[in-house]
Structure 1
Amino acid sequence: MSENAVLAELCERLPIMAEEFGLQLIPAVPEDHPGRAHVDYEAMAPEELCGLARATGARVLFHRTTMFDAESFLEEFVDQSDDEDSDPARAAETEAIQRLRRRAKRRNGQVEEVELCVILDGIAVFWSRRATWAADLEAEADTAQHEQNGLVEHVRTRRAQDEETEITRIARLLQEDRAFREAKGPGERRRAIERLVPAPRDEDYEAGQMRWRAIRQATSAIEEAAEAVFGDYMTQLTEIADELVASGALDNARTIPARRIHLKKFLSERSGGYAPPADLITLMMELPQLRDSAGTKTASLARQRHEALFPME
C-alpha cells in the first residue's frame, strides 16, 4: 500500500479505532501542554498507542489531520513564466520554481500529516506520521528559495552595473560639451542639459534618477578639473599674462573692464572651456602687463616690429 493510501486509510479508521479502545475522539492536539513526549511512528503503531492509553486510564484521543494546500505552500514564489527578461539566470530560476509548482499542485488536497496524542500520567504523548513527499517538497522549496535569492541578487547587481555605465556615459557626454563647461549660470547649464540629455517622462523615475546623478557627477568632475587647471595657472600668472598680451587680444582694449573681458575669454579658451575663478582674474589684473594700457601698447608694438622683421610665410 502506498504512503498516501496508508495515511488516507488511517484517517478513515480513527473513529472506529477510538471507539474500539473506549476513547473520545477530539479533533485537536494540546500543543501547549507543559509535559510532552514524542513516539516515532515506526516504533509504535496507532493501535498500540490507543491500547496504552486505555491501559493507563486515558479517555481522550486527540488528533489532527493536515491536508496539503498547494496555494498556501507556493505563495512566497512569484510566477515569472511570462517575464520577458531573456537573462539566462531568470530562465533557470523560472524553470526551477515552475517545476516545484507543478509537483506541489499534484499533491494539493492530499493528506500531508496525521498527528495523534494521548495524556498519560500528565504527559502529552504525541505520535505523528508525515508524508515523505511533503518533506521532499519542503526541502526543494528551500533550495528553490535560496536559488531565487541568489539569482535575484545577480539581476540586481547586473542592473546596478548597467545603471552606473549609463550614468558614466551621460556624465562624460556633458563633460565633453563646451557649452555645458562654459555655462555661467543655472539657466545656461539647464539649456545645455536639455539639448544633450532631454528629461525623461515623469513616470520613468529610474531614468530621472540616473539623469540627475549623471548631472551631479559631470558637474563635480568639471569643478575638480577646473580647480586643478586654474590652480596650476596660479603658479604661472606672469607667463600667462605675457602670452595674452603677445596674442594681440588686448591691442584695442583701452579700459580695465574691457581687458578683464578679454582675459576671461582667453583663460576659458586656454583651459578648454572652464570658467575662470574670480580670484585668478583679480590677481592677473593686478599685473602691469594687464593693468596698464601703456604696457599693453608697448608689447603690441614690439610684436609688430618682430612680425615685420620675421614675416610669417
Structure 2
Amino acid sequence: MSLALLVPGGRGQLGHDLVGAAPADGLVHAPSSAELDLTDAAAVVDAVASFAATARDGGLRPVVVNAAAYTAVDAAETDEERAFAVNAVGPGSLAAACAAHNVPLLHVSTDYVFPGDGTEPYAADAPTGPRSAYGRTKLAGERRVLEAWERSWVVRTAWVYGANGANFVKTIARLAGERETLSVVDDQRGSPTWSLDLARGLVELASLVVRTDVPGRVLHATGGGETTWCGFARAVFEELGLDPARVRPCGTEDFPRPAPRPAYSVLSGAEWAAAGLTPLRPWRDALHEAVTSGLVP
C-alpha cells in the first residue's frame, strides 16, 4: 500500500521538493500557506479529514508532513505573536486533527531550539534553550505536536537550501558575480542540508511510520559533516569554478542581526540511523549534485 502525503507549506523550499520526492504510485497534495492557513483551526480540521478520507478510499496510507513555518528569523524578534501562531498554535491544531483521524504527522523543526553553545553534535534529547523568538516559537510547536498526538514525529534540520526560493547558495552565487571579494562569518558551524535530500529522508520516514506502530519522537536529519558559513560559501565558489580565496572570513560581530545566530548548530543523526533510516549524504557531495543539476542558473 503506497503513501498519500498532505504537505502544508507545499509551495516553499522543502514543500516543493517533497512533491518531487513523493512516490509515483501514491498521492500528494501540497497546498501553499495561503491555501491552507494553519492558524485557521477549522480549515485544518477540514483539510485533514478530507485528505484522510480521499487517501483511504484510494487504498493509500495518509501521512501529513508539515513544511509550513514562519521562518523570518529576524522579523520574529518584533513579530513573535504571529510567529507563535504559525509555528506553535497551528502545528498543535494540525496534530490534534491528525489524532482525530489516526494520521501520522511529521513536523519539521530547527536547530534554533538549541542555545548554540555546544561543542559536539546535539543529540535529539539534548537540553534545549532557544535564544531567539523564532527558536522559542519552534520549540513551542514541537511540544504542542508531541503532546497532541502520539504518532507525531519531530524532525529537526538546519542550513537548508534548495531549488525553490531564495537561500544561502543562490545568494553567494549572485554575489560572486557582483563583487570581487565577499566577507562571510567563519565562527558559526553547522551542516548544510539540500532540501531534496531532506525531502527524500522524510518520505522514507513516512514509509516507515505507516508500517509500524512505534510512537513518534524527535529525530535529526541534516547533511553529513559540518562546516562554517565561510567554508560553505567557499565550497559554492569551487562548484562554480571560481577562486574560493575570494571569500574572506569574518566574525559574527561584523554582521549584527536582530536575532542571535547559534554559534554551533551541528545536529547528531545517531537517532535517525538507529531508527533504520538512511543517513543524509555528506553535505559537500550534496552541494556538488545540487549545483550541477541546475540549482544555480
Higher Cα radius of gyration: 1
Question: Greater helix percent: which structure?
Answer: 1
TM-score range, shorter chain: under 0.3
The alignment's TM-score, normalised by the length of structure 2, stands at 0.20
RCO comparison, higher one (Cα < 8 Å, 6+)? 2
